[in-house]
Amino acid sequence: MSQGNGCRCDAREGLQVYRLKDYLAPADAPAAAERRRREYQRFQKRQLKQSVILAPPHSPLRYPIHGLQVWPLHTLILPGLEVHLDPGKYLVTLQASLGTLDTLTDVSGIEGCRVSGRGEKLLTISAHRDLLNQILQRATYTSIEYSIDALDIIIFTMGQHVAQVPISIRQPAMVRLYDPGAGRKIGSLVTITTKTFLRYDKLRELLRSIRQYYPDIRVIVADDNEVTQKIQGDNVEQYIMPFAKGWFAGRNLAVSQVTTKYFLWVDDDFVFTGDTKIEKLLDVLEETDLDLVGGSVAGNHFCFKLLLEEGGEEGDCLHWRAGSYQKIKGFPDCVLTGGVVNFFLARTDRVLSVGFDPKLQRVAHTEFFVDGLGRLRVGSCSHVSIGHQDKKPPTDEAMAQVNRKYDSFRANTQEQVKYKLGLHYFKNRLSCFTKR
């Protein structure tokens, strides 16, 4: 499953293999492949391309090979440019693609020194070594094309010696801070979010348990029931959606209304217990660079890895495996992983940057972590747990009818599975998906 020039998903014992192109409509498969190819080309154009830069052996040129960054349309002094040769007169050139070059050294009236191309993309300097190095030490690069994320390579040349100097042109992201308020109370940092459908009894039990342990924390409920009931309670906000709009649409709505730094996601049939310590999950996010951390549900500490294998024209391969990558330093009960259960605390802005695909209406969870692979840092901790409400037999025919209706929506039909796998083929540019 290492990075390479191609990937294969071979069927082996105990391994579920999904060849995603097989789940497209046969009549549309060739056209979909061509549409995906074109969209992938557009996607690649938006990515910062990193070049491998090798320093030549015994080069007389000294130059930076990493770490130079300039804001778009700003100027940077190029550090470390020097020529290491015996005294003498030398000629060097600096050439850029996305910016212009100059020097802060005043060379007017200096005999035997020539600097041409100042303020242009090609700068030529001819001078004796010591003066040449003085000019180089004050050489500047100015970004002239506005881009929030680009890479320019300056070609530094002297005779047969050529060096490449990478400069990252990057607009720093605007800082976005959440005010925790005086005293940093849990309610000023965390909002609880959930979605409900045909289970108002379960939702009310969840809210009751929340208030037992967190009397004042804000709760947001996304509700796509056909016949709605008003949910009463302080600090409870109920947002009504079109009927059966779906699981991920509900998550999007709920999280979009969060105004705190973090949100806690719970299912509507969970129940808070004495082990549901939001503060412990909060400590993990506050003290690490993680974006999301899950806990245990009914004592079940479940997490999974997502392993991406680079493919060719047919797309990449994604492998789902139970388990984790490694332990988290300083938190012995926590591990780094690829995805967690439906009980997690997350940074609001980071999750909003990924979002939940509203095309997925039923039985969707792993798909969010697939979309977030490489964008979200995910952890899982076993020392924080939430309970799961018992499944009680219906007390009358009306309740039994509701349960049957819920099960019909909950069931993952073959058509829905086919749609999800076809979506992975195009959206995530995958050729296959394996699971063990």
Q: What is the pLDDT of residues 284-342, one digit of tens each?
A: 999 999 999 999 999 889 999 999 999 988 999 999 999 999 999 999 999 999 999 99
The phi and psi torsions of 351 (rounded to 5 degrees) equal -70, -40
Residue 352 in tokens:
């909003």
**Shared domain check, 390 and 312:** yes
404 located within any domain:
yes
**pTM of the entire structure?**
0.85
**Shared domain check, 285 and 139:** no
**Shared domain check, 211 and 142:** no
Q: Output the domain CATH number for residue 278.
A: 3.90.550.10
Cβ atoms within 10 A of the Cβ of 386, count?
Answer: 25
8 located within any domain:
no
DSSP letter assigned to residue 23: G
The share of the chain scoring above pLDDT 70, in percent, equals: 94
**Shared domain check, 203 and 140:** no
64 located within any domain:
no
Cβ atoms within 10 A of the Cβ of 158, count?
Answer: 18
pLDDT band at 118 (very low <50, low <70, confident <90, very high): very high
**Shared domain check, 199 and 128:** no
**Shared domain check, 396 and 299:** yes
**Maximum alpha-carbon separation in the chain:** 102
Q: Output the domain CATH number for residue 89.
A: 2.60.40
Tell which of 120, 136, 170 closes a domain: 170
Give the model's pLDDT for residue 400.
Answer: 62
18 located within any domain:
no
**Shared domain check, 350 and 277:** yes
DSSP string, 88-130: SEEEEEEE-SSEEEEESS--TT-TT-EEE-TTBSEEEEEEEHH
**Shared domain check, 149 and 234:** no
Give the model's pLDDT for residue 336.
Answer: 97
Give the model's pLDDT for residue 168.
Answer: 95
Tell which of 170, 195, 219 closes a domain: 170
**Shared domain check, 253 and 117:** no
316 located within any domain:
yes
Q: Alpha-carbon distance 190 to 259, whole Å?
A: 9
Number of domains into which the chain is organized? 2
Give the model's pLDDT for residue 267.
Answer: 94
pLDDT band at 119 (very low <50, low <70, confident <90, very high): very high
**Shared domain check, 156 and 206:** no
pLDDT band at 56 (very low <50, low <70, confident <90, very high): confident
Tell which of 120, 137, 170 closes a domain: 170
Distances (CA, A) of 55 to 136, 164, 296, 426: 19, 8, 50, 40
Quote the domain boundaries for residue 88: 72-170
